[in-house]
Amino acid sequence: MASEQMHEFTDANWQQEVLESDKPVVVDFTAPWCGPCKLLGPIVEELAGELAGTVKMGKLNVDDNPQIASKYGIISIPTLLFVKNGTVTDQHVGVLQKDPLKSKIAAFAAS
């Protein structure tokens, strides 16, 4: 991962890293073959560094972790899932530019 602030979420660590996190979590559902994911990925990584301490951000490869993707009904990627206190509070499907995404994450973290 480009940023030490980016987490790697998996089927195995989802409960601990996402649902039991003491911080709000933004999960980027992605795959190596996904073109739009390659556009969104660097933006998410950059924001992970900028917003460290406020939110936990990471990626989940849907090819390697089909259980979580299926459980949350992820059928299009990239999808961002916003999780707070173990509950999905919002999601966004598709690419977002940096400023609108940063505003969305800041509002989510503050809510």
The one catalytic residue in 27, 37, 60, 77 is 37
Radius of gyration of the chain measured on its C-alpha atoms? 12
Residue type, 26: V
Longest dimension (CA), the chain: 34
> Is 37 an annotated catalytic residue?
yes
Buried b or exposed e, range 39-56, using 16+ CB within 10 angstroms: ebbebbbbbbeebeeebb
Helix, strand, coil share (%) of the chain residues, nearest 5: 35, 25, 40
34 has catalytic annotation = yes
Catalytic residue among 6, 18, 26, 34: 34
* Residues that are catalytic: 34, 37
